[in-house]
Amino acid sequence: MTQAATSLLPIVILISGRGSNLQSIIDCAASGALTVKVRAVISNRPDATGLEIARAAGIATEIIDHDLYADRQSFDHALQARIDQYQPGLVVLAGFMRLLSEDFVTHYHGRMLNIHPSLLPEFPGLHTHRRAIEAGHREHGASVHFVTADMDSGPVLLQARVPVKPDDDPASLAAHVLTQEHRLYPLAIQWFAEQRIFLDANGRIVFDGQPLTHPRDLAREQPLPC
């Protein structure tokens, strides 16, 4: 672990739903394996069950209900103002189901991560598990990427792969992928906390001082002990 990782990286997590990846991040941080401080969890949905997970962990929660704003720009402006009150070093999208404007994404360039349930660039957008099965894929998975203005198109840092079994349906495949997501995301965040990764001037990921030409594979990495 680098010296930079001995202090806690302040992060803000954005959610829209149940918060299962949020829970894995909280658990890893509580164990000390993930050297971050979750300063706030913000949801665009008042009924997101992940808010209760955050409250139970003693984390500040905020609701920026997108239905109360006339357009994406005004919502993004309010969301950005609320995030910036917590001065995060990293913004973590964990099941945040809103398209973000280019201005918003540019504001957090190089310090916003997302997790997506497919092996990007395959299957951006929704219904990834059903689409993978319908396409006859034998392998599926999840990806952690830096966020850019184009949906699910930012440079990919780390992926986890799972086999698509003959008897899989979208629900069972989603469950297999989600198990890997809970291992994938904390590790990627920890790399950021340790300053092992960043985006260079050309928008490429630099990992341990070298340009990353292909996403890292979780099967070849050491997951966090949490």
Between the two ends of the chain, the Cα-to-Cα distance in Å is 16
49 contacts 19 by C-beta, under 8 angstroms: yes
41 contacts 54 by C-beta, under 8 angstroms: yes
Is position 77 annotated as part of the catalytic site? Answer: no
Q: 34 CB contacts (<8 Å, ≥6 apart)?
A: 25, 28, 186, 189, 190, 193, 224, 226
| Separation of alpha carbons 201 and 135, rounded Å | 36
Pick the catalytic residue from 66, 107, 109, 116: 116
Paired strand residues for 62? 42
| Separation of alpha carbons 4 and 50, rounded Å | 30
Q: Which is it for strands 90-93 and 112-116: parallel, antiparallel or unpaired? A: parallel
Per the structure block, which two tokens stand in for 191? 């790399």
Helix (H) or strand (E) holding 191, with range, is helix 170-193
| Separation of alpha carbons 172 and 188, rounded Å | 25
Helices (H) and strands (E) in the chain, counts: 6, 11
Please give the positions annotated as active site: 116
